[in-house]
Structure 1
Amino acid sequence: MRFFSWIFILLLTGCNTQPVKKDMSAFTAAAPRSILVVPIVNKSLDVDAPNYVLATLPMPLAEKGYYVFPVNTTKFVLEQEGLYEGDRIHNEPPTALAKLFDADAILYVTIHRWDAQYAIFATTVTVELEYRIVSKDGTDIWNDKQKMAYTPQSNSSGSALGSLIFAVISAAVARAGPNYMPLTQQANREVFLLSPNAPPDGPYKTAKSIN
């Protein structure tokens, strides 16, 4: 019996074009030391997506050198203030949110896509996220977008029929239980750590490699 190896092909939107370097002067002037990550605005059909995305955000920001308020504590405190929905929280004055936590800046994230598109021989899982950081005085100091996708593909030297069967099975499995987390984590690393337009290093940045 032959075993077939599989790889995930990551497709990074816009990878063929060099991004235009953004002006970071507003971010540098604000010089935030702490970042408040507020609940996510979800424009996808997956009601669980905001919780998954929220859980992935603190690590890359901490690696970048910022203090990040615990996201579960933040969510609890906001709920005590009557703020449950991401849409409403994003419409609150940033100055009021920052004052509530004594935060230097606020990170807002919107999910535009979080889906799996099924074809007979492949299922493509896609995440598309928009990021925005606002200073405690309400000034927009940084923003970015990231869209990423993967499609499981066979890397087999076996028979064409065997490869076809495995492709159909793989597509069905991906459709039934798409794994969004690796894509979400990679999207965050791209915008916060790897992109030429990533935020400047924070005051707690160490010399540890991000590779």
Structure 2
Amino acid sequence: MSRFLCFKLWFALSTVALLAACAQPVKHADYTAFKNSQPHSILVLPPENETTDVQATNSMLSQMTMPLAESGYYVVPVAVMDETFRQNGLTVAADIQATSPAKLREIFGADAVLYSKITQFGTSYRVLASATVVTASAKLVDLKTGDVLWQGSATANSNEGNNYGGAGLVSMLVAAAVQQIADSLTDRSHDMAAVTSYRLLHAGPPNGLLFGPRSSKFGTD
């Protein structure tokens, strides 16, 4: 076979593969178990922290209630949850998350529990850009059946929307250094945690939580 024919065959196969990849449907979450469960109340447990920042768990936890409440759910107050575990000698997120669903339901009376994990939290300096990034994942579990109702992940980056087009190398290096200092002084991690919490836990398409019974949109998704 000539090189020309080989090239034509390679090009044809590559085109078919590209078209097949483009034709792949967008994956959407399976809400069957969620709709069958229809939880009214949610217990939010402290997120596991896989980063080196000791403030990550408390920063995220303090901002996870609002998007859930705005989505139409009653959320067990964080202070009540925290004090209950503290009185029982549990203060580490991993130990708290290891509590059985049956025990959590017995103690708090919630319909579902939210488990979460933080994989990025803080400001890092790169050669041409400094950014504060917060990334987390979560899953909602039915406390009666143990079924996973929903799971997702989200991230927020302080450099979103920044455009250094046309800037010289020196200017970009200076901007990165200044941004790192500013992020450190103003604790941008906490701000990014708020954005991540909202993106992770707000209700709505394509893969967010379903709206809860306290929302005017309940049953429309």
Please say whether Structure 1 and Structure 2 have the same fold, judged by a TM-score greater than 0.5: yes
Deviation at 1:155, TM superposition (A): 6.8
Residue in structure 1 matched with residue 18 of structure 2 by the alignment: none
Are the aligned partners of 2:70 and 2:215 in contact in 1 as well (CA < 8 Å)?
yes
Q: 2:33 aligns with which of 10, 23, 26?
A: 26
Q: 1:81 aligns with which of 69, 82, 88?
A: 88
Are the aligned partners of 1:121 and 1:171 in contact in 2 as well (CA < 8 Å)?
no
Are the aligned partners of 1:119 and 1:171 in contact in 2 as well (CA < 8 Å)?
no
Residue in structure 1 matched with residue 198 of structure 2 by the alignment: 189
List, as ranges, runs of 4+ consecutive aligned residues in structure 1 with deviation greater than 4 Å.
152-167, 175-178
Q: Give distance in 1, aligned partners of 2:103 and 2:47.
A: 18
Deviations 1:7-53 (Å, cap 9, x if unpaired)?
Answer: xxxxxxxxxx9851111011111111000011121111011110010
Q: Give distance in 2, aligned partners of 1:123 and 1:99.
A: 46
Q: 2:148 aligns with which of 140, 147, 155?
A: 140
Are the aligned partners of 1:154 and 1:163 in contact in 2 as well (CA < 8 Å)?
no
Are the aligned partners of 1:42 and 1:50 in contact in 2 as well (CA < 8 Å)?
yes
Q: Give distance in 2, aligned partners of 1:41 and 1:93.
A: 16
Deviations 1:116-169 (Å, cap 9, x if unpaired)?
Answer: 220354311111101011111222111111123222847799999777645532
Between the aligned residues of both structures, percent identity stands at: 27
Q: 1:150 aligns with which of 140, 152, 158?
A: 158
Matched residue type, 1:125 = T
Q: 2:208 aligns with which of 173, 198, 201?
A: 198
The verdict on how the C-alpha distance between 1:194 and 1:122 changes in structure 2, with shifts beyond 3 A counting, is farther
Larger RCO, structure (CA 8 Å, separation 6 or more): 1
Deviations 1:81-117 (Å, cap 9, x if unpaired)?
Answer: 2221110111111121122011100011111111322
Residue in structure 1 matched with residue 21 of structure 2 by the alignment: none
RMSD: 2.7
Q: 1:173 aligns with which of 175, 178, 182?
A: 182
The verdict on how the C-alpha distance between 1:65 and 1:23 changes in structure 2, with shifts beyond 3 A counting, is same
Q: Give distance in 2, aligned partners of 1:122 and 1:53.
A: 24
Are the aligned partners of 1:123 and 1:171 in contact in 2 as well (CA < 8 Å)?
yes
Matched residue type, 1:204 = R
- Structure with max Cα Rg: 2
The verdict on how the C-alpha distance between 1:124 and 1:166 changes in structure 2, with shifts beyond 3 A counting, is closer
Deviation at 1:198, TM superposition (A): 1.2
Between 188-197 and 96-105, the greater mean CA deviation after superposition: 188-197
1:119 equivalenced with 2:126 (yes/no)? yes
TM-score, normalisation: structure 2: 0.75
The verdict on how the C-alpha distance between 1:183 and 1:141 changes in structure 2, with shifts beyond 3 A counting, is same
Report which of the two has the higher share of helix: 2
Are the aligned partners of 1:32 and 1:105 in contact in 2 as well (CA < 8 Å)?
yes
The verdict on how the C-alpha distance between 1:166 and 1:94 changes in structure 2, with shifts beyond 3 A counting, is same
Between 98-107 and 18-27, the greater mean CA deviation after superposition: 18-27
Report which of the two has the higher share of strand: 1
Between 154-163 and 193-202, the greater mean CA deviation after superposition: 154-163
